[in-house]
Amino acid sequence: MREQRLHFVANNARFLILPGARRPNLASQILALNLKRLRLDWRFFHGHPILLAETFVDPARFRGARARRGR
């Protein structure tokens, strides 16, 4: 059953904001814009909607970051 639905899932394994970027909620804003475009492109190229998009940080390659308060 799971394999039958995998074509509805998009995986974004590469998402990096360089350390010098300083803007509140930048990652969320970029992902929101990306999802709007992905939704349209996915339907155009694959002929069906996308139901789930996921992104993650590979801890073996990146440490990730915590939000800083007061900056």
Q: Domain ranges in the chain?
A: 2-14+23-55
What is the pTM for the complete model shown? 0.61
- CA 16 – CA 54 distance, rounded (Å): 14
Would you state the structure tokens that stand for residue 45, as one six-digit string? 């190229």
- CA 64 – CA 56 distance, rounded (Å): 10
- CA 49 – CA 12 distance, rounded (Å): 17
50 or 12, higher pLDDT: 50
Given pLDDT bands bounded at 50, 70 and 90, which one contains residue 54? confident
In the predicted model, is pLDDT for residue 43 greater than 70? yes
What mean pLDDT do residues 25-51 have?
Answer: 90
Q: Residue 22: how many CB atoms within 10 A of its CB?
A: 9
What mean pLDDT do residues 37-54 have?
Answer: 90
